[in-house]
Structure 1
Amino acid sequence: MSIITLTTDFGTKDHFVGAVKGAIYSELPDAKIVDITHHISPFNITETAYILKNSYKSFPDGTIHIVGVDSELSDDNKHIALELDNHYFICPDNGLICMITKDIKPAKIVEINIHDRVESSFPVLDVFVQVACFISRGGNLGVIGKEISTYKEMTEIQPKVNQEQNKIIGGVIYIDNYGNVISNISKKLFAEVGKGRDFKITAARYTFSKVMTKYNEIVNTEAKDLRQFDGNRLALFNSAGYLEIAIYRSNLKTVGGASTLLGLGYRDTITIEFL
């Protein structure tokens, strides 16, 4: 029995998550359902892409991922199912999958065509669940849709490289629970473009000339009171391999986070200039 994960912007106040799980259990009583998150910012495709890319690979091969963010069916927002990196994804074709497909190409993509039999304003419940249960039973993707070769790309997820100015121009794609700001600039791209050169990172009116390897690297090892470093700003490549602007030991209720303290928000520009 495959694991089925759920990633949505439904929140947990309403009935939506419970209804989806109930529908899965009605079809597959022994199903294993894992909540990745239901607290994506409403309709935020970029945030969804970041969370999905950095969570799916921790699951075993054969896992089925239902993604319900901006999922209402329209002519511009088809529903697709993919076999990708030995996982299955059922999601809207709104660009959220392209952060994964940038590095790994899908083995198969189909445009889901069961909508002729199901008219729904809640496609995650009425369509995605059906597809997930079908795949879990060993069903072939070709049965639930026609094979396609293209899917939507989101240019804002990808940073831009200006070779003439020796710059990487990126942006904020996610703000985490600590208020730390994550960019779309990967450690791999930083190394490829930078080639070991000195650099200057600019985020809002702040600059950084060093990237830490971990948060507490900012602490002076001879310091007796580590609290004196609380609230200091730093740049590092986080565990997902993306450039992050952080506040050491940030607490949104006391010290504050990088987003509020440095005035950085979703889609704001972060640049790296190599010297």
Structure 2
Amino acid sequence: MSLITLTTDFGTKDHFVGAVKGAIYSELEDAKIVDITHEITPFNITETAYILKNSYKSFPKGTIHIIGVDSELSEDNKHIALELDGHFFVCPDNGLISMIASEINPTKIVEINIHDRIESSFPVLDVFVQVACFIARGGNLTVIGREITEFKKLVEIQPKVNQAQNQIIGGVIYIDNYGNVITNISKKMFNDIGKGRAFKATARRYSFNTIFTKYNEITGKNSHKSHQFDGQKLAIFNTAGFLEIAIYRSNLDTVGGASSLLGLEYRDSVIIEFINDSKPDFSPLS
């Protein structure tokens, strides 16, 4: 049985997702198809990269991931297939693979070249499905494309380090279903650059000098009165290992989320400034 995942910005109102699944089943009747999401903000490459980086590892080795975001073929947007960390990815070369490959180099990358035989305005259906099914049957990547060594890098996915000013300059890359704001600053980078120093994290006019490991740590010793903390802002390293700005027990219908309450949006800057000769505060508030 072949396991194939789908990640797109197609939504579920139109016929696109159903057509792609039907095409896969026409090629591989015993395929298992898993929807990671079809609700990517249209053409948002950074959001796609974040979701994929934090979902693909949960699947078994050998899984094939079809990614249909900003996938129209052009001179500047080639189609590629690659093997990375025991998984296969079929996607446009628009930079979305940057975050996934930031720590692990691909084993093999090919530029897909079957377009000469296929005229299509819907490449996910007509090209990506064929490539994914070919891989699922045990096909070698070099049969469907020319081997290459580079893929497009998306600069905005990577935060910058200003050593002279003891700063990490990052930004908002994703806003989740709770309105929580996820940045591109990883816990690893924070620890590597911070080296145990105290800090101030700033996003717009809001600042934080404590980063929690769990949301309910904000209640400290008052967990029996946790509701009094509802709606308070906090910073946390989320389960994906990235700095997140959140509202405790946010409710988008009543309290609101960090994005709306703090006015934080995609691509807004988040800066961490480290203070020399001091220790950071990871303890819960009392």
Is this a same-fold pair by TM over 0.5? yes
1:9-158 alignment, distance < 5 Å: 9-158=9-158
Contact 2:174 2:181 in 1 (8 A): yes
Q: Where do residues 240-259 of structure 1 align in structure 2 (5 Å cutoff)?
A: 240-259=240-259
2:261 aligned partner: 261
d(CA) in 1 for partners of 2:95, 2:269: 20
Could you tell me whether the CA contact under 8 Å between 2:8 and 2:38 is conserved in 1? yes
**Equivalent position of 1:231 in the other structure:** 231
TM-score scaled by length of structure 2: 0.95
Identity %: 77
Deviations 1:105-148 (A, max 9, x none): 00000000000000100000000000000000000000000000
Structure 1 partner of 2:281: none
Deviations 1:193-237 (A, max 9, x none): 000000000011000000001000001433543211110000010
Q: Secondary structure at the match of 1:164?
A: helix
Task: Note the residue ranges of structure 2 that are not aligned, 5 or more in a row.
Answer: 276-286
The residue type equivalent to 1:69 in the other structure is V
Please give the alpha-carbon distance, in whole angstroms, between the structure 1 residues aligned to 2:234 and 2:98. 29
Paired residues, what number?
275
**Matched residue of 1:236: which SS?**
strand
Mapped partners of 1:223, 1:146: distance in 2: 58
How far apart in 2 are the matches of 1:17 and 1:50? 21
Match of 1:192 in 2: 192
Q: By how many angstroms is 1:2 displaced?
A: 2.4
What TM-score do you get using the length of structure 1 for normalisation? 0.99
SS across alignment from 2:111: strand
CA distance in 1, matches of 2:217, 2:265: 25
User: Which amino acid letter does the alignment assign opposite residue 154 of structure 1?
Assistant: L
Distance 1:79 1:13 in 2: 26
For 2:90 and 2:96, locate their aligned partners in 1 and report how far apart those are by CA, in whole Å.
11
Superposed CA deviations along residues 41-83 of structure 1, whole A, max 9, x for unmatched, are: 0000000000000000000000000000000000000000000
**2:168 alignment counterpart:** 168
Match of 1:219 in 2: 219
Distance of 2:66 and 2:104 partners within structure 1 = 19
For structure 1, the 5+ residue unaligned runs are none
Q: How far off its partner does 1:9 sit?
A: 0.2
